[in-house]
Amino acid sequence: MVRRLTATLGFFLDIGRDLAGTLRARWRAFHGRVVRGEEVGTIGVDIYPFFEKMTGVGWYEWNLLAALDRRSDGLSYNLYARTFLAPDDAPAPQMPGTRSMRLRVHQIPPGFLLPVGPTLALLRTLVEPLLRILDGNDVLFAPNFFLHGDQEPFAHSQVATVHDLAFASMPETVSPATLRGLDLHLPRTIYHANLLIAVSDATAGELVDIFNVNRRIVRTIHEGVDSDFAEGTKHEPPEGTPEKYLLFVSTLEPRKNVEGVLSAFRLMVEWGYQGDLVLVGRWGWRTGKIRHELENSPVRERIHHLDYVERSHLGALYGRADALLFPSWVEGFGLPLVESMACGTPVVTSGTSAMPEIAGPAAVYIDPESPHNIASATVALLGDAQHQQRLVELGRERVKKFSWESTAAATATVLRHATGLPTDAEEEYRA
């Protein structure tokens, strides 16, 4: 009983300390604005992706926030998923930064003395709105598509990042559950946002074409790659990785054209390729046909699937691969492209969607509809050492365009603009 009482009192004391911290932060902001004439703004950020194994969007948000925290833009950040979590919910993640960021998450501890359900209901309906009002966010920022309706009243302006519109351009490649969620929430987000960030000009164009968004409120800001990502090439790859292989990195689902990769690899083996194929990525939705093609491939013994690879090992996989195969049907950005270039690995990718915008001259482009074209282009590349070296050099030069520091700088400009603060440079919105 003493332990349960201690845990319960500790939980409410933690809320009290957080509330006191909020009041101190509000006072500092007010004193800075009114007394010292400082230009400050407070940004509320949705961090739901941090509560699961992160893939592309989650890592985008993590790296962006870490880079924003290293800057001095007069901005502070409150990080939200839910303010209050049940004991069996995933624990709050480690914060991506501490200088300018406050994690607004409280988890009820095991052994909590009061009934958990009613306590959570009270906290979420009464205490959570109060805390968010007191936070005084100038802008609500959703780096992962959605502005949640229960958060919108607690900010003056709203900014969202749109990563891709595959659900609209190719709905057959998106899971029904995801499609329903996007159909329900994304249009509302788009039309309520004061400013939108697109991770590529291709995505920005789709926002205009599909949703009739005013191009002047859309800012294209490319994603980045970790400055030390290439250091992962010095590490050992996961155990069992073959000596010679082609690499595919992405969620295994229809829009990634996994079947095209499998068919192309079978052709390459028939034509004499001596290496294996390594697939890195979690299973997505509608995987029945992909699984069937994988398990029944005549070269199945030379295909390796790694479900989830830690970032430290991922660089090693890139660095040792003969080439990256990335023949997606559609991409908003295509992070594996820049990761591969950072590690000095040639890229074979689709000449559609955002891929040419991101890879530029540092890739071999193929028709994703033709496994024969994927195979023949890859075999030709592997047979030309000079072409490989040229792509590696172009890739290492190209990847300099994609740093999280530049992504954060451009994002901070957008956020300052949304707060009404002056910016260092004129906004480059394109009509």
pLDDT, tens only, 45-76: 988 888 877 777 888 999 999 999 999 888 99
Same fold: 8-20+39-224+405-419 with 229-401: yes
Q: How many CB atoms lie within 10 A of CB 4?
A: 14
pLDDT at 243 over 50: yes
CB 249 within 8 A of CB 336: yes
Q: How confident is the model at residue 208 (pLDDT cuts 50, 70, 90)?
A: very high
Average pLDDT, the chain: 88
pLDDT, tens only, 169-191: 777 766 777 777 777 778 888 88
Written as one string, the DSSP assignment of 220-243 is E----B-TTGGGGGGSPPPTT--S
Which residue did the predictor score with more confidence, 223 or 49? 223
pLDDT of 313 reads: 82
CA-to-CA distance for 19 and 135, rounded, in angstroms? 9
Residue type, 318: Y
Which architecture characterizes domain 8-20+39-224+405-419 according to CATH?
3-Layer(aba) Sandwich (3.40)
CA-to-CA distance for 228 and 314, rounded, in angstroms? 12
pLDDT, tens only, 4-40: 888 899 989 988 888 888 888 878 777 777 767 677 7
Q: How confident is the model at residue 425 (pLDDT cuts 50, 70, 90)?
A: low
Residue type, 78: N
CA-to-CA distance for 144 and 256, rounded, in angstroms? 20
pLDDT of 424 reads: 64
pLDDT at 427 over 60: no
pLDDT of 135 reads: 87
pLDDT of 341 reads: 95
Rounded to a whole number of angstroms, the CA Rg of the chain reads: 24
* Domains in the chain: boundaries: 8-20+39-224+405-419, 229-401
Q: What percentage of residues in the chain have a pLDDT greater than 70?
A: 95
CA-to-CA distance for 187 and 177, rounded, in angstroms? 16
Q: What percentage of residues in the chain have a pLDDT greater than 90?
A: 52
pLDDT of 349 reads: 98
- Picking from 319, 311, 314, 312, the residue whose alpha carbon sits closest to that of residue 233 is 319
pLDDT, tens only, 272-281: 999 999 999 9
CB 338 within 8 A of CB 223: yes
pLDDT of 265 reads: 98
pLDDT at 363 over 90: yes
Q: How confident is the model at residue 3 (pLDDT cuts 50, 70, 90)?
A: confident
Residue type, 334: G
Reported as type and span, the H/E element at residue 324 is: strand 324-326
For the chain, how are helix, strand and coil distributed in percent, rounded to 5?
50, 15, 35
Structure tokens at 173: 């490649």
Structure tokens at 117: 């359900």
DSSP 130: H
DSSP 89: S
pLDDT of 429 reads: 41
- Picking from 29, 155, 25, the residue whose alpha carbon sits closest to that of residue 102 is 25
Q: Which residues contact 421 (CB under 8 A, 6 or more apart)?
A: 39, 40, 41, 74
pLDDT of 379 reads: 97
Q: Which CATH entry fits the domain spanning 229-401: 3.30.930.10, 3.90.1170.50, 3.40.50.2000, 1.10.730.10?
A: 3.40.50.2000
pLDDT, tens only, 100-137: 898 888 889 888 888 999 999 999 888 888 888 888 88
pLDDT, tens only, 276-334: 999 999 888 778 889 999 999 999 999 999 987 877 788 999 999 999 999 999 999 99
pLDDT of 422 reads: 76
